[in-house]
Structure 1
């Protein structure tokens, strides 16, 4: 997938001035959502100031959508910026991943686990 411009309207859970929200096609956990920029921007660093300022509001909206159906204990919020960070679709998207008690043996380290053994400290 080159970008998210071909997503059909029936997949969009919410659309704002700068972003829209969909369910992740390959969810890490139940309720995993993506916040995607309306305009194609490669990653977070290419967002306009207006878009960057609106992103926290959209993260809150994603949480609201998740809470309407699920009861997570916590969240991971993240973005992959660049191929060496694991980005595969070069159209800005922010993951909002609900976390559930017991979904992994020891969650300590959180996003540090993107590099094996770096989450254990």
Structure 2
């Protein structure tokens, strides 16, 4: 497990932060899957979305909307994938909560249907 001392999200440089509020910060992903791929990260070291207080959760929701507005202005994506990995079985690798905001663009995938279902490719195509 990631401890606060070894956590890369607890050691962020101020220059990496593009937005924030009292509870969370936003950075651009260092290994983006799309233009504008961002991470919303609590300032408090928690591993899971389920560990947030109601106040922190509401602040995350507000910051998600602000992040979308910024990305809409900067990059004009056609859609978004929003993702959270919780636990090793869900392939969480950094055990400090981070919410992925991945802008999507027309033509970035040949057939984008199925979205996040592609974590199980054999189950992604459900419309045939």
Question: How high is the TM-score relative to the length of structure 2?
Answer: 0.90
Q: Choose from 31, 34, 37 the match for 1:29.
A: 34
My pick for the range that moved more, 91-100 or 53-62, is 53-62
1:68 CA drift (Å)? 2.8
1:99 CA drift (Å)? 0.2
Give the aligned partner of residue 12 of structure 1: 17
Larger radius of gyration: 2
Matched, 1:86 2:91: yes
Matched, 1:49 2:34: no
Measure the CA separation in 1 of the matches of 2:39 and 2:86. Answer: 14
Count of aligned pairs: 121
1:41 CA drift (Å)? 0.6
**Aligned alpha-carbon RMSD (Å):** 1.2
Give the aligned partner of residue 120 of structure 1: 125
Q: Choose from 77, 102, 113 the match for 1:72.
A: 77
| Structure with greater helix percent | 2
Moved over 3 A (4+): none
Please give the secondary structure, in 1, of the residue aligned with 2:65: helix
Question: How high is the TM-score relative to the length of structure 1?
Answer: 0.94
1:44 CA drift (Å)? 0.4
